[in-house]
Chain A
Amino acid sequence: DADVTQTPRNRITKTGKRIMLECSQTKGHDRMYWYRQDPGLGLRLIYYSFDVKDINKGEISDGYSVSRQAQAKFSLSLESAIPNQTALYFCATSDPRQGNTGELFFGEGSRLTVL
C-alpha cells in the first residue's frame, strides 16, 4: 500500500460543483502539502500544514480551502469548481527530523477535470 494515498484518483465534474480531494498518510509526518501541476507551469503550492492546528496559504490558494482533520489527513476543497482548476493535484508529506531535510513524499496524484 502507498504511504501517501489520494482519493479520488480521477474525477470529472461540472462548473459550480463542490469537490473534495482527500489525502491520508501512514508515514507519521507532521507536514503535509497540496500542489497542483499544469502543463508548462510545473508544480505550484496551494496550501500547506505543519501540524493539525497550522494551515498556511501557498502561491495559489484562491478558490481552494483545506482541512487538517488529523495528523494523517489533509483534504483540499474546491467550493465552486471552475474549468481553470482542471489540473493534476498532488498531496505530499515531509518530516525534516527524519534526515533528508525537505524531502517530499508524494501521493500518486488526483486528476481533476472541470467541465
Chain B
Amino acid sequence: RKEVEQDPGPFNVPEGATVAFNCTYSNSASQSFFWYRQDCRKEPKLLMSVYSSGNEDGRFTAQLNRASQYISLLIRDSKLSDSATYLCVSLNQAGTALIFGKGTTLSVSS
C-alpha cells in the first residue's frame, strides 16, 4: 500500500461549485499533514496544514480523521484560479520526511 493515496481525478467543476478531495495515509503515528498546490509546470507550494481539530482558511477547509486515517480538503465557491493539482502530504513510515500523494487535478470552468 502506498503511504499516501489520493484520487487523481480530474475533477471538472463550474465556478462557484464546492468540491472535496480525500486522501488516505498509512503511517498511523504521523503528526504532520498538509495540502500542497501545484500549478502546471511549477513547483509545489504549501496550501495549508491540517490540524487535528480541522482548520479553515478562507474558502478552504481541511479535516483530519485519525480513526480512518484520511484527510480531506474542501474548496467552497470555486474560482477559475483554483485550477491546479492538489497534493496530499504526510510523514513517511520512518517519520523523517514528507511523502506526497500523486495529486488530484482540479479544473474549474466558467
Contact = CB atoms under 8 A, between A and B. Distances in A.
A33 B97 contact: yes
Contact of A100 (B8, B44, B49, B98): B49
A48 B96 CA distance: 9
A107 B45 CA distance: 10
Contacts of A56: 96-97
Interface stretch (A36-44, A63-71, A73-81): A36-44
B87 interface: yes
Contacts of B91: 102
A100 B34 CA distance: 10
A46 to B, nearest CB: 10
A19 B58 CA distance: 44
B21 interface: no
Contacts, number: 54
B32 A108 contact: no
Interface residues of A, number: 23
A100 B32 CA distance: 10
8 closest cross-chain pairs (CB), A and B: A42-B102, A106-B43, A43-B100, A102-B32, A103-B46, A48-B97, A42-B100, A42-B103
Interface of A: 33, 35, 40-45, 48, 56, 58-59, 90, 94, 100-104, 106-109
30 contacts: A40-B8, A40-B102, A42-B87, A42-B100, A43-B44, A43-B87, A44-B100, A45-B92, A45-B97, A45-B98, A45-B99, A48-B96, A56-B96, A59-B99, A90-B44, A100-B49, A101-B32, A101-B49, A102-B32, A102-B98, A103-B46, A104-B36, A104-B44, A104-B46, A104-B98, A106-B43, A106-B44, A108-B42, A108-B43, A109-B43
Interface of B: 8, 32, 34, 36, 42-46, 49, 87, 89, 91-92, 96-103
